[in-house]
Amino acid sequence: MWLTTDPSANGHGLCNRRELTPEEKQLFSVRLDQKAFFPDKRAIRFRVVIPSSDRKLVHWPKWGKKRLERWWYDALNKTGSGKANTWWLYWGNIPAEALEAADLASGQLLEGWPAMFRDAKGFQRPPLFDATAALAELERRL
């Protein structure tokens, strides 16, 4: 799992929600007349506290510099706006109950997290997405 100590979600190479270009639709085999979007990977911010003594927590620069060719490490750092020193890897599972989830735009905690995101068997699932309502809201805003 990728983590950061950076309080800002800006940079890091994470995209905002945006419509695919015609070229991207072709690349991903999406009909050109179909609406398709990249997700907003900065919509939700998860916060977790992991003790620095946890051996599964590894600082990305230390891990990456040992395992990647220099040009590849530098390219990833550049894509992430030079914020690689704030990146960490966690080589384990983090239970949903250990995460604090907040809507990044409003700063409000997600009500019902994580229980409302579990199915009847207790599996963690993303919330149902009403694409028709989302498109109607988007068209209303435009």
Listed in sequence order, the residues at least 6 apart from 53 whose beta carbon sits closer than 8 Å to its beta carbon are: none
Q: Considering the entire predicted model, what is its pTM?
A: 0.65
Q: In this prediction, what percent of the chain has a pLDDT beyond 90?
A: 27
Chain centroid to CA 75 = 19
Token pair in block for residue 26:
């072709």
On average, the pLDDT of the chain sits at 83
Q: Confidence class of residue 50 from pLDDT cuts 50, 70 and 90?
A: very high
Q: What is the arithmetic mean of pLDDT over 55-75?
A: 93
* Domain count for the chain: 1
Nearest to residue 102, comparing CAs of 43, 16, 14? 43
Q: Which two tokens stand for residue 16?
A: 């905002």
Q: Which domain holds residue 41?
A: 2-141
In angstroms, the Cα distances linking 108 to 9, 82, 101, 115 are: 15, 28, 9, 17
The confidence band for 59, taking pLDDT boundaries of 50, 70 and 90, is very high
How open is the CA angle 125-129-135, to the nearest 5 degrees?
Answer: 160
